[in-house]
Structure 1
Amino acid sequence: MPIVADTKNWTWVLERECPECGFDSSSTAAVDVPRLTRENAAAWPAVLARPNVSERPDAETWSALEYSAHVRDVFRIFRTRLALMLDEDDPEFANWDQDATAIDERYNEQDPAIVSAGLLEAGEAFAVLLEHVRDDQWQRTGRRSDGSVFTVDTLARYFIHDPVHHLFDVHR
């Protein structure tokens, strides 16, 4: 059964602490995001080893497997977006419907071991790319089709909230 889509604009996390998970992107330095990404990615294999990894806690909440596959894809999508920002002037990001992806890619039917390996690989790829951002690149811009504009700095800080928040989700 599909989950009701989350249509909130989460860019507010750049301004204040998240009241749900407690993470504060506004006080996070972008140069710390590679370390935070690796720490976050390292926590997911234990989640994926749970015997009930594909069970949803209720009809409105993804299973831990679905959250894990989503986080893997967040790592991939944001690596692509970051690379665009570093290679192009003010690129517009392709739309990504994360809820449609969860259904189309059958997140809840994927092999947890394969998701785990892919998540670790994608997290490392994002972290490595971000570590190589030069001082003169942090203010390069990119934008979503909804008009939200990011710099490399704000994209990194916006990005890290998502996997941190979802790790909180699977530990509630």
Structure 2
Amino acid sequence: MSDQPTPDSKDWTWVLDSVCDECGQDVRGLEPHLIAGLVRDSVPRFAAALRRPGAGTRPSPQAWSPLEYCAHVGDMYEVMDRRLELILGQDEPTFANWDQDEAAVRHDYAAQSPRLVVERLRATAESFAVTLDTMRGAQHERKGFRSNGSVFTAATLARYAWHDAAHHLHDIGA
């Protein structure tokens, strides 16, 4: 679909320091092993949203459909899993830029099969959760850098990723 909502230009890293005023999510105290369970538990909620009538229809021109949000979250879990693996395997890596809006166009989220979106979401969520489950002690504080210079620890990257998923569950009413 070529008509995309206006790209979100906010730097959402602020959610690491306060409650999200849009979705109410507070990720500040979440530990990675707890996030692993939340990530796994999110998949049936996203899948249920895709079974609703109109899951491929945008509620407004400026918002993605549940199908598009679910496809995005599948991609996001994969990107965050790769970033987490970089943090755990390298000293202070810098992550390649990921433009979520460009990814939506390139992968044509709106035209994807809901069944395939759920399968991919399930696989990427599980992979990310497994990586979260492997983290121990001092690994939580290992650092990585987003291409814009934002600093993440393994723990804050996990929190940031969970907020993204939880926020989109809120967006689609799941």
Question: What TM-score do you get using the length of structure 2 for normalisation?
Answer: 0.96
Secondary structure at 2:162's aligned position in 1?
Answer: helix
Partner of 1:167: 169
- Which of 120, 131, 142 is residue 122 of structure 2 equivalent to? 120
Identity among equivalent positions (%) equals 44
Aligned pair count? Answer: 172
Q: CA deviation at 1:31?
A: 2.7
Partner of 1:79: 81
Cα distance in 2 for residues equivalent to 1:106 and 1:25? 30
Partner of 1:64: 66
Cα distance in 1 for residues equivalent to 2:166 and 2:82? 19
Partner of 2:17: 15
Cα distance in 2 for residues equivalent to 1:168 and 1:136? 32
Question: What TM-score do you get using the length of structure 1 for normalisation?
Answer: 0.97
* Structure 1 runs not aligned, ≥5 long: none
Where does 1:29-68 land on structure 2 (aligned, <5 Å)? 29-68=31-70
Q: Which runs of at least 4 in structure 1 moved beyond 3 Å after TM superposition? A: none
Cα distance in 2 for residues equivalent to 1:15 and 1:136? 21
Secondary structure at 1:138's aligned position in 2?
Answer: helix
Cα distance in 2 for residues equivalent to 1:136 and 1:2? 41
Q: CA deviation at 1:145?
A: 1.2
Q: CA deviation at 1:25?
A: 1.0
For residues 12-50 of structure 1, what are the alpha-carbon distances to aligned partners after superposition, in whole Å with 9 as ceiling and x for unaligned? Answer: 001111111111011323331101111112211111112
Q: CA deviation at 1:51?
A: 2.4
